[in-house]
A and B are shown apart, each in its own frame.
Chain A
Amino acid sequence: MLELLTRLGLPANLSAQGGTIDDALVWTHILMVILFLFWAPFFIYTLIRFRKSKNPNASYKGIRSHFSNYMEGGVAVFEVVLLLGFAFPAWELRVNEVPPAADAEIVRVVAQQFKWNVHYPGPDGEFGRTDVSLINDEVLNFIGLDYESETAKDDILPPQGHLHLPVDKPAIIQLSTRDVIHSFSIPVMRVKQDVIPGMRIPVWFEPTQTGSWEIACAQLCGNSHYEMKGYIHIHTQKGYDAFMDALSIVNEIDDYDLTFEADKKLNKVIKFLRAGDAETAESFAVEAKSLAKIALQEKEEMGEEDEWEDWDEWE
């Protein structure tokens, strides 16, 4: 049945927890097929056998057997099994059996009209303070991060719409929105969660394959809802660490002239993940990291020079 659904269009499941969802899909469709295979021939046979020209006198009583009671009972039993065997455990897994924070990658995603903002806590593991009054799209502070706060200094904000995660490690995404309702949907990860204003809702999943896929908005959020697309990049663990380190350093340098080379490599990482070549992507991530480090050194050296220059001017 799973094969049939896949042939019809169901994308392959690339997550560890998604199997429970596919089980429910498979078993409900099996029940559908059974009922359909039972009723369709009955229906067609009845119409042919009891047409007026064949059967001019109707029977007052009709069917006397109670097979329909058994069938209804059968449906009820099947549904109980679906609930207890598949539906309840799957929801328990989704809501209550969240992997411990220490073993998981915790990321915040803040939706806004037609974009997904991704917010990593950085090495300290704590998210910086955010405040709606600090939102300023012109300086690219889409989530209102308070750069003054201690915990915000090492936070990492990749370009809008790009979520990076390591493979084979649970990810806990804390979802919130700054305007209207959105819905965070990654079909291949079997993830979908509404994002409700005024709430921060966690959802977790565990990618099992490296590569690059899309995040869709599944809830009508305005006129460009159809363009609200994001990307999810699943790295090898090593590649992910290097990528995030590089990104963090690049953010810290904040000077495109210096990080130009490292940025190029970071783009290559994404390009190779898309092509399904995680190993090459990993090596580019490592390269990006070392280039970023070099850039950082350069900046520090330049920084000293700059100070001297400033000093000169001051003199």
Chain B
Amino acid sequence: MSSAYHDEGFWRKYVFSTDHKWIGIQYAVTALFFLLIGFCLILVMRWQLAYPGEAVPIIGKLLSEEGMLTPDLYNSFGAMHGTIMIFLGVVPLAVGGFGNYVLPLQIGAPDMAFPKINMASYWSFFVGGVVMLASFFMPQGAASSGWTMYPPLSVIQTTGETMWLIGMVFLITSSLLGAINFITTVIQLRTKGMTWMRLPFFVWTQFITSFLLLLAFPPLESAAILQLMDRLAGTSFFLPSGLYVGGEVLNVSGGGSPLLWQHLFWFLAHPEVYVLILPAMGIVAEIITNNTRKPLWGYRSMVYSLIFLGFMSFIVWAHHMFLTGMGTTMAAFFQTTTMIISIPSVIILSAMFISLWGGSIRFSVPMLFALAFLPMFGIGGLTGLPLGLASADIHLHDTYYVIGHFHYIVAPGTLLALFAGIYYWFPKVTGRKMNDSLGRIHFFGTFIGMNGVFMPMFIQGLAGVSRRLYDGGTTYLHAQPVLQWNEFMTISAILLGLFQIPFIVNFFMSIKRGKKVSSNPWEATTLEWAAAPSPPIRHGNFSSVPEVYHSPYEYNVPVNGTVEEFVPQNKVLEVE
């Protein structure tokens, strides 16, 4: 298979590659870079929250003449932090990176179904990212009305908002191209014997995630274009008449509805939450089963829960909008669906907890991250309960409680899982292992740092401190008893940043100098480890097409009176 690609030049090989593995690496490295940028933005913001009005050290001079973060910049940084972390960091890493690299390998496919569309997906993402970053250099700065871009504010704000919308169109296009590719690949390119119930759980999560992307993103893409029209072509899809802005009546035809945008936005953005979390669950499931040396407990119910979760995620969106003047019927419907969707999440999480029982647990670096994911995601999920009940949401809506809640899902949740995935699949990509000691330092620093940043947010939120306040609520009476936490959170964030240095060093050093390992160092059963060399063959993956004989996680199988330590999916298990 590889011979046809023998004479690829530099550009075809490293830039416009159609090999899913290289595209996966491109995605992952780009996304890690964006994660770092998004983190730096929040560090500057956290400085301002802890020490309002004081000059920011080191980079202060770049921000303003006095060296401090201005309110306009604060809002820009806030909006771009959210956008970058979600759309340019976590999703591209989880889906574009891990999905691209691992999924075809795990199902025994030579590549994605549409390699050129795969390449187009990456480059569309890249352009979207560049447009987003470029918006910082627009005359009045980047978008500054939150990552949710609620009109009318977003329509009357700076030119950066236009860039945001254009960037978004590219990013969504990229996701759609990726989604159809993943879905087709899973349906069409499973190798012989890879039945649906033999798919590794990671493949299932990517498969469901792709449906979410495919069905939820188009409404936002069209909404983004509508808002672009509102900004550029004088339409009023989201603007009512009679607005008074900047000393005069806003000159628009009116008749639009700001709530329409919120519905279209959250119709994407709630499934998007599951796009952020499902691949993470997949990674954690792979690592837990591998490091407990036993099958995943309740695999089938996990798969059914996953499908149900994917479906339900489309009918909970308006729980983000309880306070927009919602009547009882709507509120009752969305509260009920929100409570229902918590059940499959509980089932999946419980199954992973229970999978640990009876295992022979190896505390490898990926396993540490995967284990930490469980309670962190648990905290994130549980704190979603009061937010999902409209009445409790009255007090907590738009406070730091919300910020704490979804960061527990995405940061100590998904990000820890993504780190786990990097440590886990690094030997597959490079043939070398990352350093264990540095990995452990990275783990404990990150785990403690993240909790130090996000746990106090629940306290501030209970006190009623609003989010998105430039001074962190310094002037509000109700915030006074909990303000001292701001400094604590900022110091935790700085420490969290410092503890990423061992990771960055480890990552780059290990590419060339890491310990060489065999093609299956974790003694795993799934095809990417069992059937492919490390790194897998360019354009084709496997030297011979693997055939699958049984379910994905056959560890410690009792056969013929003895116990097989692990039985790869492509190995025939002969039972007498």
Instruction: Give residues in A with beta carbon < 8 Å to B.
Output: 5, 8-11, 20-22, 24-25, 28-29, 31-32, 35-36, 39-40, 42-43, 46-47, 50-52, 55-63, 68, 71-72, 75-76, 79-80, 82-83, 86-88, 90-92, 94-96, 112-113, 132-133, 135, 137, 144, 178-181, 183, 185, 187-188, 190-194, 196-199, 201, 213-214, 216-227, 229
Contact = CB atoms under 8 A, between A and B. Distances in A.
Contact of A90 (B241, B358, B391): B391
A23 to B, nearest CB: 8
A181 B477 contact: no
B249 A187 contact: no
Nearest to A64: B358
B86 to A, nearest CB: 17
Query: 8 smallest A-B Cβ distances: which pairs?
Result: A198-B240, A187-B464, A90-B391, A9-B463, A59-B358, A24-B392, A28-B386, A58-B294
Nearest to A191: B394
Interface stretch (B126-134, B322-330, B523-531, B537-545): B322-330
A68 B360 contact: no
Contact of B351 (A51, A68, A79, A181): A68
Contacts of B115: none
A50 B358 contact: yes
Contacts of A43: 353, 356, 374-375
B152 A179 contact: yes
Contacts of B239: 197
B402 to A, nearest CB: 10
A46 B356 contact: yes
Interface of B: 70-72, 75, 144-146, 150, 152-153, 156-157, 239-245, 247, 249, 257-259, 292-295, 297-298, 323-328, 331-332, 335-336, 339, 342-343, 346-347, 350-351, 353-363, 371, 374-375, 378-379, 382-383, 385-386, 389-392, 394-399, 458-460, 462-464, 466, 468-471, 473, 475-478, 481-482, 555-558, 563
Contact of B398 (A92, A180, A192): A192
A55 B360 CA distance: 5
B391 A32 contact: no
A191 B393 CA distance: 10
A220 B357 CA distance: 46
A39 B361 contact: no
Contact of B360 (A42, A56, A72, A197): A56
Contacts, number: 283
B353 A42 contact: yes
Contact of A51 (B347, B350, B363, B463): B363
Contacts of B462: 5, 8-10
A132 B247 CA distance: 11
Nearest to B72: A223
Nearest to B336: A83
A21 B464 CA distance: 13
Contacts of A46: 353, 356-357
B385 A28 contact: yes
B476 A214 contact: yes
A24 B150 contact: no
A216 B337 CA distance: 30
A133 B152 contact: no
Nearest to B461: A9
A95 B352 CA distance: 41
A32 B383 contact: yes
Among the interface residues A112, A201, A220, which one has the most CB atoms of the partner chain B within 10 A? A220
Contacts of B259: 196
B59 to A, nearest CB: 21
23 contacts: A9-B459, A22-B395, A24-B392, A39-B353, A43-B374, A46-B357, A47-B356, A58-B292, A75-B342, A83-B336, A94-B391, A96-B328, A112-B244, A132-B242, A180-B245, A187-B395, A197-B258, A198-B241, A214-B477, A222-B75, A222-B153, A223-B71, A226-B71
B71 A31 contact: no
B152 A181 contact: yes
Given A25-B386, A91-B332, A223-B75, 16 more contacts: A28-B392, A39-B375, A50-B358, A57-B563, A62-B354, A88-B332, A132-B244, A144-B244, A192-B394, A192-B398, A194-B323, A194-B324, A197-B152, A198-B242, A218-B466, A220-B153
A61 B292 CA distance: 12
Contacts of B459: 8-9
A26 B555 CA distance: 44
A144 B350 CA distance: 58
A270 to B, nearest CB: 14
A220 B75 contact: yes
Nearest to B399: A218
A286 to B, nearest CB: 28
Among the interface residues B75, B394, B468, B478, which one has the most CB atoms of the partner chain A within 10 A? B394
A52 B360 contact: yes
Contacts of A58: 292-294, 358-360, 555-556
A190 B150 CA distance: 24
B386 A50 contact: no
A87 B244 contact: no
Contacts of A80: 339
Contacts of B354: 62-63, 68
Contacts of B346: 72, 75
Nearest to A23: B391
Contacts of A75: 342-343, 346
A88 to B, nearest CB: 6
B152 A47 contact: no
B372 to A, nearest CB: 11
Contact of A76 (B343, B353, B382): B343
Contact of A225 (B297, B350, B458, B470): B470
A82 to B, nearest CB: 6
B320 to A, nearest CB: 11
A72 B347 contact: yes
B153 A24 contact: no
B263 to A, nearest CB: 12
B470 to A, nearest CB: 4
Nearest to A212: B477
A95 B346 CA distance: 31
Contacts of B361: 47, 50-52, 55
B466 A185 contact: yes
A163 to B, nearest CB: 15
A189 to B, nearest CB: 10
Contacts of B399: 218
Given A57-B556, A68-B350, A40 B375 contact: yes
